[in-house]
Amino acid sequence: MNLSLEYLVRKPKVNIEKPPLLIMLHGYGSNEQDLFSFANELPDELLIISARAPLTMAYGSYAWYTIHFDNTDGKFSDTNEALEAKEIINTFIDEIINNYEVNSKKVFLLGFSQGTILSYSVALNYPAKVQYVIGLSGYINSDLLPKTLNKENYKNLEIYSSHGSVDQVIPVEWARKTKPFLDHLNIKNNYEEFPVGHGVAPQNFYNLNQWIKERI
């Protein structure tokens, strides 16, 4: 079927009507194979979709939006492209829900790095559409959020976030702002750090997997 984004699918390993849906959003310069490599370790009940970002960087390398590494004014991310990517993901979620028999009240977004930034953005802009976010090695970019954040809109949203304490790509200080930001909005959330760089430690994966299992 022709949807907005290229993607990979892992169907539920058990016979289940309207399975919970988990959509994976990879990081900058990666592709849909990356996070999908551990899809089979996630709960059997899930329908797992791993999406490919729309911008081609090189063969097998994609991005959700451009990062200007040589920018000197602190604006490293192309905000317009990121906002456009947010809408593409929003549409893609609708397409998946419309094309697969899933439980639309059990939708998980699992992002890494740039995929995490957009997962937060989609969930905080469209809280009725996403109930759970797993945000790995990312941060909340306020440029991608609604101008007004109403606590009442986020009663059914839960977020698990984690970061490497020696992350050389996204400073851990940026990630440490996530929990107080979410707490202020009364959003249920967990934040953890692990002694790794820009990646996912084995204990990190075990914890996020348990977090998912408790919510399906």
Q: Provide the CATH number for the domain around residue 29.
A: 3.40.50.1820
The pLDDT of residue 2: 76
Task: Please state the length of the chain.
Answer: 216
Q: Please give the average per-residue pLDDT across 167-192, as a whole number.
A: 97
Does residue 153 sit within a domain?
yes
Q: Please give the Cα distance from 26 to 71 (Å, whole number).
A: 23
Does residue 50 sit within a domain?
yes
3-state secondary structure of 159: strand
Domain span including residue 55: 7-213
Q: Please give the average per-residue pLDDT across 101-121, as a whole number.
A: 97
Does residue 175 sit within a domain?
yes
- 55-69, 103-117, 194-208 — which is least confidently predicted? 55-69
Whether 25 has a pLDDT exceeding 70, the answer reads yes
Instruction: Retrieve residue 66's tokens.
Output: 């451009």
3-state secondary structure of 20: strand
Does residue 209 sit within a domain?
yes
Q: How many domains does the chain have?
A: 1
User: What distance, in Å, lies between the first and last C-alpha atoms of the chain?
Assistant: 27
Q: Please give the Cα distance from 30 to 53 (Å, whole number).
A: 9
Cα distances (Å, whole numbers) of residue 4 to 30, 51, 95, 97, 145: 18, 10, 8, 13, 22
Amino acid, res. 61: S
Between residues 173 and 73, which one has the greater pLDDT? 173
Q: Please give the average per-residue pLDDT across 85-109, as a whole number.
A: 97
**Residues 56 and 66: beta-carbon distance below 8 Å:** no
Does residue 91 sit within a domain?
yes
**Residues 76 and 51: beta-carbon distance below 8 Å:** no
Does residue 2 sit within a domain?
no
**Residues 112 and 200: beta-carbon distance below 8 Å:** yes
Whether 29 has a pLDDT exceeding 80, the answer reads yes
Whether 109 has a pLDDT exceeding 70, the answer reads yes
Cα distances (Å, whole numbers) of residue 46 to 18, 107, 176, 187: 10, 10, 29, 24
3-state secondary structure of 83: helix
Does residue 118 sit within a domain?
yes
Whether 71 has a pLDDT exceeding 60, the answer reads no
Calculate the average pLDDT of the chain: 94
Does residue 208 sit within a domain?
yes
The pLDDT of residue 73: 47
